[in-house]
Amino acid sequence: MTAAEEEWGRLMVAAQQGNAGAYRRLLDELRKWLCRFYARRLPPAMVEDAVQDTLIAIHEKRHTYDSERPFKPWLAAVARYKWIDRLRSMGRATMEELPDDIAIEDHESSVTSSVILTQLMTKLKPAQAEAIRLVKIEGFSVEEASARTGQSGSLIKVNIHRGLARLATIVQKQPDVE
């Protein structure tokens, strides 16, 4: 355990006792850590939402941290749970119109930054991985993805939905995806 992680544990114990200064310091540190965590696991357009969602979860569930145990595994478990949640919600959002700001101009950098997500996608069927990569990571519309892959629009949606559900299951069964 690093000194920083030990310090996080101490700050969380102080926060559990109501120390606002310690809590503010802890949340600032955790925000940076969570940004790095999700940048490797989610498309760039989703990182900020995931970070904020996780900070709220940490706030609401701070009483479940046991001061006799290391802080980092607790933090990682919460972050991973929210990652799985986010993957599932990406699948549910397939039918909805994507916001304009999800499209990333620099497609290559968006793919390389979500390195763990990209690695996990190799475990999917190629058609599912391709549909997720084009629509969810690179920001193409379903119609554009359909034209590029030759899959029908409905098939693109089905492949995204099933692929993301499968990804969530894979992550859930692999406790330490790094």
Partner 1 sequence: MSSDLLLDRLVDELRPVRPSNPRRQLAILLCLAAVELAGFLALGTLRPDVAAALGRAAFWWKMGGLALLAAFGVHIALGSFNPVSSPRSGLRRWAVLVAGLFLVGWVIDVAGQGTSALVARLMWRMGVECLTVMTILSIPPIVALGLMMRRGAPTDRQASSVAVGVAAATWGALIFAFHCPSDDPFYIVFWYSLGVSAITLMARAVLPLVSRW
Of 9-17, 91-99, 122-130, 142-150, the segment contacting partner 1 by CB under 8 A is: 9-17
Confirm or reject binding of residue 15 to partner 1 (CB under 8 A): yes
| 74-93: burial string, b at 16+ Cβ within 10 Å, e else | bbeebbbebbeebbbebbee
Confirm or reject binding of residue 1 to partner 1 (CB under 8 A): no
Confirm or reject binding of residue 56 to partner 1 (CB under 8 A): yes
Q: Return all residues near 15 (Cβ < 8 A) that are at least 6 apart.
A: 22, 23, 26, 62
Confirm or reject binding of residue 105 to partner 1 (CB under 8 A): no
d(CA 142, CA 139): 9
Member of 9, 65, 139, 151 binding partner 1 (CB under 8 A): 65
Member of 46, 78, 111, 135 binding partner 1 (CB under 8 A): 78
| 137-166: burial string, b at 16+ Cβ within 10 Å, e else | bbbbebeebbeebebeeebbbbbbbbbbbb
Confirm or reject binding of residue 48 to partner 1 (CB under 8 A): yes
Which residues contribute to the site for partner 1 (CB under 8 A)? 15-18, 20, 23-24, 27-28, 31, 48, 51-52, 55-57, 59-67, 69, 73-74, 77-78, 80-81, 172, 175
